[in-house]
A and B are shown apart, each in its own frame.
Chain A
Amino acid sequence: MQQFLDWLNGHFAAFGQSFYDNLIRDDRWKLILEGFGNTLFIAAVATLIGILLGVVVGIIRVSHAQSGKYKILNAICGVYLTVIRGTPVVVQLMILYYIVFASAPLEASIYVAALSFGINSGAYVAEIIRAGILSIDRGQTEAGRSLGLSQGQTMRKIVLPQAIKNILPALFNEFIVLLKETSVAGYVGIRDLTKASDIIRSRTWSAFFPLLTIALIYLVVVVGLTKVQKIIERRLSQSDNR
């Protein structure tokens, strides 16, 4: 019995030591905090770029399909969707970093990453927006146009407000995917959350705490995002009054 307790005790001590080595010693938690900040920054900026690009591309695609207008723009959007959805995000990131912005200063790399993930996300958001718009009955557009509203006014005031509700779950899914995909930012030397754990692991030679810590952080953020989604969904259904 005593032997067993000693054994257990020893393990706990080792466990505590490992915790100390990996997270406390040399202020290693600061590395994780810094990485977390970078991850959030990249994800937030990329989300904004993604929404902006996605809404524009999605609307162009739908408008073209419905009215035959914007032929050239639509063709450009088609190429964009094909290329972005057809290649891995980490490859796109490296192309942007090592080829397109090869001469950019090192401090700018986090912006290059945000741009890269934003361009990537835009393609997926565009398809989500397109599907959302198509989910609204054609009669809604016809009613708006028959009153004399332009195509843009009808889209803004009638179609999009209704489409939002159908879009929301898929959109948040995309945000979540995007947040997690930023974990490849280390490929171009950015110290994001995942890279921070790599750095610690390479110094301490232990994987347990660095990896589980960042996994927990990703998880908490995603759970938070899901909560936000629920709140927005509830708000939308209230104003709906059904």
Chain B
Amino acid sequence: MITVKNLVKDFGGKRALDGVDATIHEGEKVVVIGPSGSGKSTFLRCLNLLEKPTSGTVNFEGTDITDPSVDIDKLRQKMGMVFQQFNLFPHLSVMENITLAPVMLGKMDKQQAEEKAKTLLSRIGLLDKAQSYPKQLSGGQQQRIAIVRALAMDPDVMLFDEPTSALDPEMVGEVLELMKELAKEGMTMVVVTHEMGFAREVATRVIFMDEGKILEENEPRAFFSEPRCDRLKDFLSKVL
């Protein structure tokens, strides 16, 4: 579904990604971990071109999205993204947050979009908040709505950029729970996170990054119990 080849990203002389190759298949749940500054967020943001790679290619469903002639807006409709800071639109109600993109992009008419939003909201138990504004909700509620907002576009893959890092500890659970449900339903997911428990439980594959490179990847049980490279052993000994 997504094939990344020799991806390099420089930020004004500093190399954030240093030749990353990766393939994400349909239905996979790939969790990316690594120390801060390892390039894992940059990697994720290159997948939907929020960050423009310096060189290398990202192929999504048969299209090289780094090709400047590609209509990236069209492709992004198929790639949902969830941010660390939620990034809900504060001037719009929860309902408007969810229906804005599908209606504006002609995916559904207003009525269909609102029906869909209601279904999604009742699924996460927040139907009664449809007319509320983001500022009136807790962080956990906001993040779950941000996930639902991305789902309203019926994406083929969901990208999560440290979705629980900005949350109060007691709110982390509800967001992870929703992500687990999504995983169970077969959604293809790429998750950058520090939640090792989530990685262990949900991931079909775990990737370890440091200094802009993928140093190790494996299925979760072996990844955590038999790490091969020293850098990963060192990292796991500190976070587990």
Contact = CB atoms under 8 A, between A and B. Distances in A.
Most chain B CB inside 10 Å of its own CB: which residue of A148, A162, A239: A148
B133 A140 contact: no
Interface string A135-165: 0010110111111111001000110011000
A147 B150 contact: yes
Interface string B143-161: 0001001100100000000
Nearest to A239: B91
Most chain A CB inside 10 Å of its own CB: which residue of B80, B101, B146, B150: B101
Given A143-B83, A147-B76, A161 B48 contact: no
Nearest to A156: B104
B135 interface: yes
Given A147-B77, A147-B150, A148-B77, A142 B104 contact: no
Contacts, number: 70
B91 A240 contact: yes
Contact of B101 (A137, A147, A161): A147
Contacts of A142: 50, 81, 83, 87
Interface in A205-242: 239-242
A149 B89 CA distance: 14
A143 B153 contact: no
Contact of B87 (A143, A153, A157): A143
Contacts of B88: 143
Contact of B76 (A148, A239, A242): A148
B87 A148 contact: no
Contact of A146 (B74, B79, B100, B105): B79
A153 B74 CA distance: 13
Contacts of A147: 76-77, 80, 100-101, 105, 149-150, 153
B230 interface: no
B56 interface: no
A139 B79 CA distance: 17
Nearest to B133: A241
Given A139-B83, A241-B136, A242-B135, A148 B91 contact: no
Contacts of A149: 73, 100-101, 104-105
Contacts of A140: 87, 89
Contacts of B85: 137, 139
B78 to A, nearest CB: 8
Interface residues of A, number: 21
Contacts of A143: 81, 83, 87-89, 146
B136 to A, nearest CB: 7
A161 B91 contact: yes
Nearest to A147: B101
A143 B153 CA distance: 13
B90 interface: yes
Given A140-B89, A153-B104, A148 B153 contact: yes
A203 B3 CA distance: 85
Contacts of A157: 100, 104
B83 A148 contact: no
B76 A145 contact: yes
Contacts of A158: 89
B89 A148 contact: no
A242 B92 CA distance: 11
Contacts of B87: 137, 139-140, 142-143
B15 to A, nearest CB: 21
Given A142-B83, A241-B133, A242-B135, A150 B90 contact: no
B98 to A, nearest CB: 10
A149 B153 CA distance: 11
Given A145-B76, A149-B104, 8 more contacts: A140-B87, A146-B81, A147-B149, A148-B73, A148-B77, A149-B100, A150-B73, A161-B91
Q: Which 4 A-B pairs have the closest CB atoms?
A: A148-B77, A143-B87, A147-B101, A146-B81
11 contacts: A139-B87, A140-B89, A146-B50, A146-B83, A147-B76, A147-B149, A148-B105, A148-B153, A149-B104, A162-B89, A162-B91
